[in-house]
Amino acid sequence: MEWLSSILLLYFIFLHWSNNQKHSTSISKYYPYLLIVKLLLGIAIGLLYSFYYRGGDTFGIFKDANTLRDIAINQPLDYLDYIFSKPYRYPEAIQSKLLQSNASTAIFAILLSFVSLLTGGNYWVTSLYLSFISFICIWRYLNSVYQIYPKLKYSLIIPFFFLPSFSMWSSGIVKECLSMAFLFYTLSICIDYLSHNTVKKRNWVLAVISLFLLFQIKFYYGALFIALSPMMIVFKYRHQMRFKNWKWILLPSFLITLVILTLPFLHHHLNYHQIVHTIYLNYQKLYSASTEGHAIYLPLFDDSINGLIQSLPTAIIKAFTSPKITSESSIFYVIIKIENFLVLGCYLLSLYFLLKNDTIKKRPWLLWTFIYISIIIILFIGILAIASPNYGSLNRYKIGAVVLLFQLSLSSIEVHYTKNFSSR
């Protein structure tokens, strides 16, 4: 079964590569090299958990997926009953056989069981499949952005394949792998619609399913997508916008207000009455489980909205400047430190270039879009730093936000140095 599924994977790769060649762009030549890197990183995740962490959630979740796979083969009706059950209301007869009980983990295990049925329960082949799914969704996003700004090249490739944390944690059998696939596929469909006005119905259906599953696996990235959506509308009507006209000021303000009012209805963890308490419980749990010097200390956070607001500046600064490097620091902490300063430095440099560029005077929506996206992403990273103060887990959880900020920053820098703004 493993050999058959491996051959089938090669066939899927060939089909995707062939389709990519039909719509060749200047970044297409990097396709085989980047795909190989992505697949190898998927294997590296398994090796990392095998020999460095000596176990971990990747193997626990995969064991649950294989348990569900066996149930699907031997008791298909029970399997269907399980996958269509509401979170935390799964049949006890099946739930008792699983190691993980978290709702988002259960959804991920269900999705993983589909792939496991195809791969015969082989961890390494399944890891390659998930890495490939992540790759094709990210690649689709890159091509969608390229269609709007065809002068961009390095600012598309570098953030997604050479930023260590993102390229690593968006591969293999981890929840971030599929959640990044869902996030960037949904973004790619929205970008296609904004730039071309037409998207196939099946792509819209897949985008809706992707966004739904994103909320189930990593609800905070679903919230990030919704929070960024007002700027998609601004982009859509950028040529008509005149910021001296009051209606173009009210439109973004209305959309932002709509987002704030909508979020609590999209996921129970986003309920404004309990979200601060949920963040506080996560902070207490992860901070107390971390060794000294391996987590962000926030003495002002006291399970109140005021404490959250007061702690946010410290959390943001620490998220981009920590961890502290000592002679005892692991190579992973050194990489995290370098990566954080690289992203922060690129962002500040890009903001400087953007402010001094004469093009901004003609297209003020460009500056406001940059500032809005930056603020949302930075606040998002700050809140994540409070909810997950451990440096290791924070580095993993924030990859989607960091890569978007890094891509945005590098795009501005690349445009500045090439002196080629898109005609759009």
CB–CB of 168/402 below 8 Å?
A: no
Tokens coding 25: 């762009």
pLDDT at residue 135, rounded to an integer: 97
Cα separation values, 8 from 4, 5, 31, 40, 70, Å: 6, 5, 19, 18, 21
Going from the first residue of the chain to its last (424 residues), give the mean pLDDT of each consecutive group of 10, the final group possibly shorter: 86 92 84 94 92 80 92 91 82 81 87 93 94 96 89 90 93 94 95 82 94 93 90 68 55 75 81 87 91 88 91 94 74 88 93 78 74 92 94 92 94 78 46
222/219 Cα distance (integer angstroms):
5
In Å, what is the CA distance from 349 to each residue of 313, 352, 381, 408, 419? 21, 5, 19, 11, 16
Q: Look at residue 325 in the predicted model and tell me its pLDDT.
A: 76
Helix, strand or coil, per DSSP, at residue 50: helix
Burial code of 3-33, b = ≥16 C-beta within 10 A, e = fewer? eebbeebeeebeebeeebeeeeeebbebbee
Contacts of 6 (CB under 8 A, 6+ apart): 125, 128
Give the per-residue pLDDT at 272. 81
pLDDT given at position 358: 72
Q: What is the pLDDT of residue 353?
A: 86
Query: For position 93, what pLDDT does the model report?
Result: 82
Output the DSSP codes for 140-176. HHHHHHHHH-TT--HHHHHHHHTSHHHHHHTSSSSHH
Report the sign of the C-alpha dihedral through residues 208, 212, 218, 224, in that order.
Answer: positive
Q: Using omega within 30 degrees of 0 as the cis cutoff, is the peptide bond preceding 252 cis?
A: no
Q: Which pLDDT value is given to residue 193?
A: 87
> Considering the entire predicted model, what is its pTM?
0.91
Q: Which one, of 180, 188, 190, lies nearest residue 234 by Cα? A: 190
